[in-house]
Chain A
């Protein structure tokens, strides 16, 4: 079955880069997503990448996709305290349902 895995916690210092990693199992995934969840709020779509792309950059965010290894990463440059949140990786299966990872809690230390 489909499975998405992430490490649960990451701490970085303000101003450093953060790299959040994700692995997935379904090779038929068409889109892969990164969502951000702040305390007490719903999930906010940050960015997504089509499965035939290797990289996507959007301001401070860089997404890298290694389709061979089924590995997705999100790099946040110049991490700020406002970036503290839970980040979810998700894959879209057969264009219908989404499978989410458990989320990585990013803590940004001053």
Chain B
């Protein structure tokens, strides 16, 4: 049982490039989340999903897209990266009461 995994762990992009972050969970959870963490701001919700084939916007969705084609995977896409998207990205999945986090992806946009 690997829990929540994220790939890649680190990435450097140039402004305007695109990329996809992958989150996978093997706990059969319905709910999955993408957050970004910036210093002094805690975690802010980007997008979330309440089940396969569904997605919804969180607090800071602009500049990101997501897809949940399979229950175990939640993908976060950046179509045209901007320096303001430099951050640490965390994926999470949850049971009814508990949220489990991945180890994070550190993204730098130059």
Contacts and interface: CB of A to CB of B under 8 A. Distances in A.
Contacts of B102: 42
A44 B101 contact: yes
A96 B94 CA distance: 10
B42, B90, B96, B101 interface centre (most CB from chain A within 10 Å): B42
A8 B39 CA distance: 10
Interface stretch (A11-19, A67-75, A97-105): A97-105
Q: State which size class the interface on A falls in.
A: 20 to 34
A10 interface: no
Contacts of B98: 45, 48
A45 B97 CA distance: 11
Given A48-B97, A96-B50, A97-B48, A41 B104 contact: yes
Contacts of B58: 97
A77 interface: no
Contacts of A4: 42
B97 A41 contact: no
Nearest to A30: B97
Interface residues of B, number: 24
B64 interface: no
Contact of A42 (B45, B48, B90, B97): B90
B42 A43 contact: no
A45 B93 CA distance: 12
A44 B99 CA distance: 9
A33 B102 CA distance: 17
A88 B42 contact: yes
A88 B102 CA distance: 16
A43 B97 contact: no
A93 B43 CA distance: 15
Interface of A: 4, 8, 31, 33, 35, 40-45, 48, 88, 92, 95-98, 100-103
Given A42-B90, A42-B104, A96-B50, 10 more contacts: A41-B104, A43-B101, A45-B99, A45-B100, A92-B97, A95-B96, A97-B33, A97-B45, A101-B42, A102-B41
